[in-house]
Amino acid sequence: MDRQDIDDELSTTGAQELLTSPSAAHLAYIGKDGTPRVIPVGFFWTGDEVVISTATTSPKVTALSGRPDVALAIDAGDTPDQARALSIRGQASVEIVDGVVPEYLAAARKSMDAEAAAEFEQNVRGMYDQMARIAITPRWARYYDFGAGRMPRFLQELAEQNQS
């Protein structure tokens, strides 16, 4: 998938809604012991990368430093007609920063009013001397909207075969 295809996929209205939603994402990576992991994570979309912030002692920090290939999924909808999902594959880079990662606070603000966000920030600044900033650069992306018929090609082909 080339950069233009990735940008086109990520710029669709539905993908942008998921990227800016307060929903959690699911991060898949290979653990230090070589086995797969899928974990819920908060995230912030910068327009170029998905940023996840965590404690420097988090197991994913060590794992991603050695094996940076990841997959990320963000989904929404409670019924088949409402089901939407954004799948991203890419590489993660890990940077240890002093204080709090700015995108961590920005992600929290997506789901909090100003007063709650201010209290959250005060608590976070008191807790973290350093944080890990995990930046995921998309190398592949696909947005699905099952109710609108935007689904994986194999499902579209199956549906078309059954209509004949």
* 19-31 pLDDT, tens digit each: 999 999 999 999 9
Domain boundaries, the chain: 3-163
Looking at residue 30, what is its pLDDT?
Answer: 97
33-58: string of b/e by CB count within 10 Å (b at 16+)? eeeeeeeebbbbbeeebbbbbbeeeb
Q: Print pLDDT tens along the chain (164 aa).
A: 898 999 999 999 999 999 999 999 999 999 999 999 999 999 999 999 999 999 999 999 999 999 999 999 999 998 888 999 999 999 999 999 999 999 999 999 999 999 999 999 999 999 999 999 999 999 999 999 988 888 778 888 887 888 76
Looking at residue 26, what is its pLDDT?
Answer: 98
Whether residue 76 contacts residue 84, with contact meaning beta carbons closer than 8 Å, is answered with yes
CATH 2.30.110.10, applies to 3-163: yes
Supply the pTM of this predicted model.
0.90
Where residue 47 falls (left for φ over 0; alpha for ψ -120 to 50; beta otherwise) is left
Looking at residue 44, what is its pLDDT?
Answer: 97
